Structure 1
Amino acid sequence: MSHGPRRIVCLTEEPTETLYALGEQDRIVGISGFTVRPAIARKQKPKVSAFTSAKIGEILKLRPDFVIGFSDIQAEIAGELIRHGVEVWISNHRSVDGIVDYIRRLGALVGAAARANAYADDLRRGLDEIAAQSARLPQRPKVYFEEWDEPLISGIQWVAELVRIAGGDDIFPERAIEPLAKQRILEDPSEVVRRAPDIVLGSWCGKKFRPEKVAARPGWDTIPAVRGAELHEIKSPIILQPGPAALTEGVGEIAKVIQRWAQRRV
């Protein structure tokens, strides 16, 4: 006997990826247009939302009994759907622990708690393995993660935590704990220069990272990461979504960059 909602619309990628991973994809009737994982979802499911906007009429035509979104940024979409009588869950997790817990809760909602718990445990083991490898590195680099370039926005909490798991230290820990992007805007770009990161990771939220533009910023030629050509892109779909991708491919890519940097210093 099936439990939980049968017709789910996912306004962001992470519930889609999680439900596919749990074998519950038949419940999904609509997805975000930004969804890239799993690739088959784009072929199988209609795209009914962006991140800050959604086709409310198209969503209602799908007769959803549950809509899943993320954060205050989707509050207006949620409010409109609620006014139309749709049940909406807006998750607001910002940490690695929050992502793992989110997977467990979503699994429980669709009657797949055991599978979700096993999946979450497996993701946690993977993180523990990366942490154990990084603990053996001879040196920990200082890392600047840039989420946007105009204005400069530093990385969110789960990103800073994944950098730490992968063997680095985020240079803006006091910013990372701020949940809103506007609170992570760097009013003074020279603060990055003063904190002297060894590695710069760029993930410009849907547009291509341009290391040459970063290197050309006034005064940035003195930054160790610029001098050492340690400017690397982490694709936004694998790190800026608070779901399984960040805990697998995203942290894996960060770990590769940090391990290569450390090896060059042995």
Structure 2
Amino acid sequence: MNYLKGPQRIVCLTEETTELLYNFGEQGRIVGISSFTVRPELARKEKPIISTFLNAKIDKILDLKPDLVIGFSDVQSSIAKELIKKGLNVWISNQRSVNEIKSFIFQLGSLVNAQKNAEDLISEFEKNVLEMSRTINQWEKKPKVYFEEWDDPLICGIHWISELIAFAGGIDIFENFSKGRKAENRIIDDSSLVVKKDPDIILVSWCGKKFKIDKMLSRPDWSNINAVKNNYIYEVDSSIILQPGPASLFDGLKTLHDIFKNWS
């Protein structure tokens, strides 16, 4: 690997890295992607699939002779450990906030000599947030929002989702919970807590699992929640809100803002 050019054969264990490299015009460096990759659609047609989120085809990755493997979160630590034992270079990012996502974008761009592209993407996001804030300032009231990332046990949204809710014009009722860096720190032990906080809007994204509204509405006293009474329950596609990259910063943010604007 020519250190001045950066890694030339990258395996992407999660989608955000793939989407960013395509965005930077550096997709030629990608030699393998995750089966969960849907952005951009072209990637699945051009690149071999070598992993899910939890498992990877180690032998297939080795056959691709990557000079760098990039993954995300402690959940992929076992994959990383196995690849490191095989002698590969592995980078596992663990972004949990919007600032950490922006930092990851900048780091990746710098790594592949696309720093300007990364800076432009970050600037575009910040411009969108500023424009939204001008609209939000004209609202009389902001909606209280409950984001449910999992149903059994109840898990509220991760920190970047809480921040996107705020940028989009909402108030996350479990903002403090969202700061827990692991899912177990965001468990809501008692569903009556949601009832007591009485959100105006309920957002649901069960990590790719199909949302069953009847299951939600069967919870004790949830019929008393404003969001339920007024039918402000929305399923948000996991691919645009649970991806710690451009999908959530752009499509996810816009989707949230449109929902909140309709409520206001």
TM bracket (short chain): over 0.9
Distance (Å, rounded) in 2 between the aligned partners of 1:162 and 1:192: 20
> Is the contact between residue 134 and residue 165 of structure 1 (CA under 8 Å) also seen in structure 2?
no
Query: Does the residue aligned with 1:148 lie in a helix, a strand or coil?
Result: strand
Instruction: Please say if 1:49 is aligned against 2:51.
Output: yes
TM (norm. structure 1) is: 0.96
User: Which residue in the other structure is 1:110 paired with?
Assistant: 112
Alignment length, in residue pairs? 262
User: Which residue in the other structure is 1:261 paired with?
Assistant: 263
Cα distance change, pair 211–133 in 1 and its aligned pair in 2 (3 A): farther
User: Which residue in the other structure is 1:236 paired with?
Assistant: 238
User: Which residue in the other structure is 2:205 paired with?
Assistant: 203
Instruction: Please say if 1:172 is aligned against 2:161.
Output: no
Query: Does the residue aligned with 2:36 lie in a helix, a strand or coil?
Result: coil
Structure 1 alignment gaps of length 5 or more: none
Distance (Å, rounded) in 2 between the aligned partners of 1:255 and 1:137: 12
Identity %: 51
Distance (Å, rounded) in 2 between the aligned partners of 1:103 and 1:256: 25
User: Paired residue for 2:249, among 241, 244, 247?
Assistant: 247
User: Which residue in the other structure is 1:120 paired with?
Assistant: 122
The residue correspondences of 1:68-87 to structure 2 (distance < 5 A) are: 68-87=70-89
The alignment's C-alpha RMSD in Å is 1.2
Distance (Å, rounded) in 2 between the aligned partners of 1:200 and 1:211: 11
Q: Give the letter aligned to residue 180 of structure 2.
A: E
User: Which residue in the other structure is 1:60 paired with?
Assistant: 62
Instruction: Please say if 1:185 is aligned against 2:187.
Output: yes
Distance (Å, rounded) in 2 between the aligned partners of 1:184 and 1:221: 23
User: Which residue in the other structure is 1:221 paired with?
Assistant: 223
User: Which residue in the other structure is 1:160 paired with?
Assistant: 162
> Is the contact between residue 127 and residue 247 of structure 1 (CA under 8 Å) also seen in structure 2?
no
What is the Cα deviation at residue 124 of structure 1?
Answer: 1.8
What is the Cα deviation at residue 197 of structure 1?
Answer: 0.5
What is the Cα deviation at residue 97 of structure 1?
Answer: 1.2
What does the per-residue CA deviation read over 1:184-227, in whole Å, with 9 as the maximum and x for residues that have no partner?
11111111111111100000101222233222222100011001
